[in-house]
């Protein structure tokens, strides 16, 4: 599927795909509508740090930025549970959760206290009972 999509894509899009890891590019194409995929690739091209995968299904950090800019996401819970689906398969791990929150913090202008509160809220939501 990815090879077919890449062959059909315009040359500038093929170049963008080539700069991402294969798994991330495949996740973008399979998990997104094509216009969204172009926007995700553009975000990760302009900000290579947002090309990092944030879950096993191929979602990349650019999907956090996309959710804030295009889907009105305003909380970490909304981003993790609804906009990206990162939390749908369980807790993504503290490091990933903090990376997602840091990207949201930059985009939404949260102070450090707000970021800490957002991470704690989502961590409680996803943590299994002991």
> How confident is the model over 37-78, as pLDDT tens digits?
888 889 998 999 999 989 887 789 999 999 999 999 999 999
Output the CA–CA distances (angstroms, integers) from residue 106 to 1, 17, 36, in the order listed. Answer: 34, 25, 21
Domain ranges of the chain: 2-126
- What is the rounded average pLDDT for all residues in the chain? 83
This prediction has a pTM of 0.74
Task: Flag the least confident range among 19-23, 34-38, 113-117.
Answer: 19-23
Q: What's the pLDDT score for residue 101? A: 98
Judged against a pLDDT cut of 70, whether residue 30 lies above it is answered with no
């Amino acid at each position: 599927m990815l090879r077919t999509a890449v062959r059909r894509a315009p040359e500038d899009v093929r170049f963008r795909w080539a700069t991402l890891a294969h798994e991330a590019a495949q996740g973008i194409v399979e998990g997104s509508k094509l216009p969204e995929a172009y926007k995700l690739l553009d975000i990760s091209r302009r900000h290579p740090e947002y090309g990092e995968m944030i879950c096993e299904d191929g979602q990349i950090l650019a999907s956090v930025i996309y959710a804030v800019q295009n889907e009105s996401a305003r909380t970490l819970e909304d981003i993790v549970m609804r906009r990206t689906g990162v939390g749908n398969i369980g807790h993504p791990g503290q490091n990933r959760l903090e990376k997602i929150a840091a990207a949201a913090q930059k985009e939404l202008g949260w102070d450090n206290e707000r970021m800490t509160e957002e991470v704690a809220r989502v961590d409680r939501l996803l943590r299994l009972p002991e």
